[in-house]
Amino acid sequence: MEVLMEVRNLSKYFPMKSGFFDKDTNYVKAVDNVSFEIYKGETLGLVGESGCGKSTTGRMLVDLLEPTEGKVIFDGMDIRELKKKNRKELSKNIQIIFQDPYASLNPRMTIGDIIKEPMIVNKIAKGEELDKRLLKLLNCVGLASYHKDRYPHEFSGGQRQRVGIARAISVNPKLIVCDEPVSALDVSIQAQVLNLLHDLQHEFNLTYLFIAHGLNVVKHISDRVGVMYLGKLVEVAEDESLYNSPKHPYTQALLSAIPVPDPKKKKERIILSGDVPNPINPPTGCRFHTRCEKCMGICKVKEPEMIEVGNNHRVACHIYDKNKL
């Protein structure tokens, strides 16, 4: 499979001043040395608890945030270089859909103008052609043509998210980062929006990075899934491999929390003890060791590296490390 985006050793540290006279700066290690790739045409799910760095990662991929370290290579080119050479090309190719469709839509603009804006900025169409494209896009995302003259507050959450999707696909992007696009929606609407994203993927040859809290949301739509914990990517695998044989104790705990529909099937639930540690001062060694049932001596002192444990299945855990001390 062809790689569309390669994320290499990406980190984002946010400086935190503890007091006005304090000279020492602490850092929130929101994303810390994360590497993965996104293949052309796939949906890569990215999951993890609140605050583990999913949005920060997503924002760096669309160039809304500058990485502290590391690189994002898109179609063979560093996005920072791409930005210098051709900023429009970058925004045309990589788009983002946000969790809260209300906050991301300008309340003073009509839906038509909101969807047209990126096409005008990127000089994709004008005049009659622009209006034609607008109507086609509204139709593609399941909205009616008369909706174009309305304002965001006149829409439901699900409809607003459809506007966000129309706006994102209007510029024919290759990759869309979907940052929890259905988390704010009613459960019944979630499925509709997920189906829409799925249909559009085929129609427009899109590649998705799909961010969500839990593994249950990404289960039906991802080809591969990455699991993050406290700024680190701890496991990445093909969908089936991850759900059927999760390797990392954290992934196992996340999976055990998904309810099974069959009451006869008893499933042992792994309850994670303790709170998520503070990303300003993360635990030494493996960041998960303070909550891990299988913690060994080495886990407290040595950070595990990502290792291949099967067909395209990678995990960062000392249990699978043959060279452990």
Ligand X SMILES: Nc1ncnc2c1ncn2[C@@H]1O[C@H](COP(=O)(O)OP(=O)(O)OP(=O)(O)O)[C@@H](O)[C@H]1O
Of 41, 51, 142, 157, the one binding ligand X by CB under 6 A: 51
Q: Which does 50 bind (CB under 5 to 8 A by kind): Mg ion, ligand X, none?
A: ligand X
| Contact track, ligand X, 203-222, x by CB under 6 A | ----------x---------
State the residue for tokens 């996340």.
254
226 residue type, one letter: G
Contact segment (CB under 6 A) with ligand X among 45-53, 78-86, 185-193, 262-270 equals 45-53
In a 13 Å sphere around the CA of 89, the CA atoms on its Cβ side amount to: 12
Residue 55 interacts with ligand X (CB under 6 A): yes or no? yes
- Residues 60, 292: Cα–Cα separation, whole Å: 29
CB proximity list for 237: less than 8 A, separation 6 or greater: 224, 225, 247, 310, 312, 313, 314, 315
Contact segment (CB under 6 A) with ligand X among 44-52, 83-91, 145-153, 161-169 equals 44-52
* 135 CB burial (10 A radius; 0-12, 13-18, 19+): middle
Residue 151 interacts with ligand X (CB under 6 A): yes or no? no
Residue 97 interacts with ligand X (CB under 6 A): yes or no? no
The residues of the shown chain that bind Mg ion, judged by CB under 5 A, are: 55
Contact segment (CB under 6 A) with ligand X among 33-41, 52-60, 123-131, 191-199 equals 52-60
Of 10, 52, 194, 315, the one binding ligand X by CB under 6 A: 52
Nearer to ligand X, 14 or 243 (CB): 14
Q: How far is the CB of 58 from Mg ion (least distance, A)?
A: 8
Q: How far is CA 240 from the centre of its chain?
A: 19
Nearest to 47 by CA among 290, 307, 312, 235: 235
Q: Which does 233 bind (CB under 5 to 8 A by kind): ligand X, Mg ion, none?
A: none
CB atoms under 10 Å from CB of 277, counted, come to 16
DSSP 34: E
Nearer to Mg ion, 55 or 95 (CB): 55
- Residues 235, 81: Cα–Cα separation, whole Å: 29
Site residues (CB under 6 A) for ligand X, limited to 56-75: 56
Of 19, 50, 76, 274, the one binding ligand X by CB under 6 A: 50
Site residues (CB under 6 A) for ligand X, limited to 1-20: 14
Residue 148 interacts with ligand X (CB under 6 A): yes or no? no
Nearer to ligand X, 28 or 196 (CB): 28
Q: How far is the CB of 31 from Mg ion (least distance, A)?
A: 12
Whether the CB-CB separation of 225 and 246 falls below 8 Å is answered with no
CB proximity list for 127: less than 8 A, separation 6 or greater: none
Residue 198 interacts with ligand X (CB under 6 A): yes or no? no
Nearer to ligand X, 114 or 276 (CB): 276
Nearest to 46 by CA among 241, 229, 182, 210: 210
Nearer to ligand X, 30 or 138 (CB): 30
Residue 28 interacts with ligand X (CB under 6 A): yes or no? yes
Contact segment (CB under 6 A) with ligand X among 48-56, 193-201, 301-309, 310-318 equals 48-56
Find the helix or strand (DSSP H, E) in which 119 lies.
Answer: helix 111-121
Rounded to 5, what percent of the chain is helix, strand, coil? 35, 25, 40
Nearer to ligand X, 48 or 158 (CB): 48
CB proximity list for 146: less than 8 A, separation 6 or greater: none
Footprint of ligand X (CB under 6 A): 14, 28, 30, 48, 50-56, 213, 279
